[in-house]
Amino acid sequence: MSAPHTRVLVCCGSGGVGKTSLSAALAIKLARSGLRVAVLTIDPARRLADGLGVGALGNDAREVPLRALFGDDGGGRLDALMLDARSTFDNLVRRFAPDARAAQRVLDNRYYQFASTRLGGSHEYMAMERLLELVQSGAYDVVVLDTPPTRHALDFLRAPERMSGLMDQGVLKWLVMPAGVGGWRALEFGSEAVSSVLKALLGEGTVGEIAEFFDAFRGLGDGMRQRSLAVRALLRAPTTRFFLVSSPAAAARAEALFFLAVLREERMPFGGFLINRVAAAPPAFSRGEWSGRSPAEALALDAVDAQCAEQADLAAAHAKAVAALRAEGPAGAACWLVPEQSGELHELSALIALGAALPDAESVWGADGTGA
């Protein structure tokens, strides 16, 4: 089972709303408040990794040099990782194979090499697996998990159930499913259709290798089923929180609400909305300061006026959008507004500014940190 003292924060939301940026900013904030934090990102922009001072991110934890970047570490520690589905899967095979030879048989199988990275669900499942590893390592107080855009994140949340369910059936049909060729439903067309898809995809010779793969893989089933059950429990633990990231845009809000319904259905704990890229009202300024200026200055003044009016309209529209989300969301739901940043987000000043608008540990889990 998962180590109960490691708390989990998951950032979900539609594409491009800022899940990765806010995950990083949250992780920095929590680490600088004295916690040991890991942030597991999905496809972070290269510049973000650079901004964190860790060079290239990979499957192994890299320590973010908080002291060098911020002058102090607040007594905490931050590790950053990027999900590498293939390495995670390989490690899992090594862990659960009865011996090194059996592990190698799976790893050398060409179908495995294809299935472990390219088939529907494998990335999602491996993200969950990696999350569990980080939690069980006991090295962290908090693990912050970034996710792919909503639709994939759903697969992500349901991956453990799928995996354990299919293991129970004793068949890894799951892995016979090419991603994007109709998802799970392709199975309903029967094995012949699936096999012809695979033939087209992999070439005639490979189908025999698939059978061999299933044979070799079957031995791993029990261990992997146990892991699936542990992830399932972890996602519903009282110290886990799902944050729904949205922009003020209507489509992003709708997706956040849709996701909220899924969380409820799955009995996964909702932590609140993070509404990102909210426009600030323009600073007030008075024309009086400018009276008696030249015609050129008066023109410039008009331009500034127009810009301020535009900014004020945008801020008003965003305030309306925020009010709408609050009204449609559950009564009393926590809601954090994260301002639009000018300039490059990977710069530390921007990540700190984002962090200032994000929740601290106490507002997520209460003063005793239990989330009760």
Ligand X SMILES: Nc1ncnc2c1ncn2[C@@H]1O[C@H](COP(=O)(O)OP(=O)(O)OP(=O)(O)O)[C@@H](O)[C@H]1O
Positions in 146-185 near Mg ion (CB under 5 A)? none
Positions in 332-371 near ligand X (CB under 6 A)? 338, 340-341, 345, 354
Kindly state the tokens that stand for 195: 């096999």
| CA nearest neighbour of 56 among 68, 74, 66, 41 | 41
Which residue is it, tokens 């950053």? 80
Partner interacting with residue 16 (select from Mg ion, ligand X, none; CB below 5-8 Å by kind):
ligand X
Q: How far is the CB of 92 from ligand X (least distance, A)?
A: 24
Phi-psi region of 170 (alpha: psi -120 to 50; beta: other; left: phi over 0): left
Give the integer Cα–Cα distance in Å for 92 and 312: 53
Residue from 31, 277, 325, 364 touching ligand X (CB under 6 A): that is 277
Q: How far is the CB of 228 from ligand X (least distance, A)?
A: 25
Partner interacting with residue 345 (select from Mg ion, ligand X, none; CB below 5-8 Å by kind):
ligand X
**Residues near 157 by beta carbon (within 8 Å), at least 6 away in sequence:** 235, 262, 266, 268
- Residue 14 binds Mg ion, judged by CB under 5 A: no
Identify whether the C-beta of residue 45 lies closer than 8 Å to the C-beta of residue 278: no
Span interacting with ligand X, options 9-17, 50-58, 117-125, 134-142, rule CB under 6 A? 9-17
Identify whether the C-beta of residue 77 lies closer than 8 Å to the C-beta of residue 36: yes
By beta carbon distance, the residue nearest Mg ion is 20
Positions in 311-340 near Mg ion (CB under 5 A)? none
Residue from 2, 6, 14, 20 touching Mg ion (CB under 5 A): that is 20
**Residues near 229 by beta carbon (within 8 Å), at least 6 away in sequence:** 160, 164
Give the integer Cα–Cα distance in Å for 210 and 186: 17
Residues in touch with Mg ion (CB under 5 A): 19-20
Residues in touch with ligand X (CB under 6 A): 13, 15-21, 45, 149, 276-277, 338, 340-341, 345, 354
